[in-house]
A and B are shown apart, each in its own frame.
Chain A
Amino acid sequence: AQKVTQAQTEISVVEKEDVTLDCVYETRDTTYYLFWYKQPPSGELVFLIRRNSFDEQNEISGRYSWNFQKSTSSFNFTITASQVVDSAVYFCALKGGGSNYKLTFGKGTLLTVNP
């Protein structure tokens, strides 16, 4: 069975602080994909990144960066110089190689960036 754990339920920071959202996953699949989604207060789910299990390179996109470490089964997400518009719920998700193609989500981390 697949499992995604986001241990941080809520994080509150002041604008311009850096913040890291943790994600730990469990799967028996050798091929799998990891995702991060953002859910702003308006409620829609916004895709941020996909990473496959064979690619452990870290990725940076503007103020966002992702650290994938297979050895610790973690896929952490860092926002540098946070802004109020970053306030949202962030979900980490896992898609394995099974025939269901199911996306298993963590319970989400509510990030509040205060001015």
Chain B
Amino acid sequence: EAQVTQNPRYLITVTGKKLTVTCSQNMNHEYMSWYRQDPGLGLRQIYYSMNVEVTDKGDVPEGYKVSRKEKRNFPLILESPSPNQTSLYFCASSQRGSYYGYTFGSGTRLTVV
């Protein structure tokens, strides 16, 4: 089944403790992206990647890092999480080109206390 898999689904952590949210896709998509969803703000892009070793900032990159060492994986790293990073996170992948929609993961609900 074609899918984007995110882990974990739920995570509660403490301020400053480094964490990684994993994202993997099995569709051989070149393009991958991370979004965060907050009430009243919709979904905002954090980082994206056009291909292996090619990443760039989205609209709200502060406090996040990403890497793309393999085509299928695009982890999101929070090196020193803070409470304002409490959010619902989505990973998405797509074929390159404006025509294609995104396939989204199931989401990761992160709480930083």
Contacts and interface: CB of A to CB of B under 8 A. Distances in A.
Do A and B assemble together?
yes
Interface in A38-56: 43-45, 47, 50, 52
A64 to B, nearest CB: 16
A57 to B, nearest CB: 17
Q: Is the interface of B mostly helix, strand, loop or mixed?
A: strand
Contacts of A96: 98
B43 A43 contact: no
Contacts, number: 56
Contact of B98 (A97, A106, A107): A97
B40 A43 contact: no
Interface stretch (A11-19, A28-36, A75-83): A28-36
A105 B31 CA distance: 18
Interface residues of A, number: 24
Tell which of B35, B43, B88, B104 has the most Cβ of chain A within 10 Å: B43
Interface stretch (B20-28, B63-71, B74-82, B89-97): B89-97
Interface of B: 31, 33, 35, 40-45, 48, 50, 56, 58, 88, 90, 92, 94, 96-102, 104, 106-107, 109
28 contacts: A31-B98, A32-B98, A43-B107, A44-B104, A44-B106, A45-B90, A45-B104, A47-B101, A47-B102, A52-B99, A95-B98, A95-B101, A100-B48, A100-B56, A101-B48, A101-B50, A101-B94, A101-B96, A101-B97, A101-B100, A102-B45, A102-B48, A103-B45, A103-B101, A105-B43, A105-B44, A106-B42, A107-B42
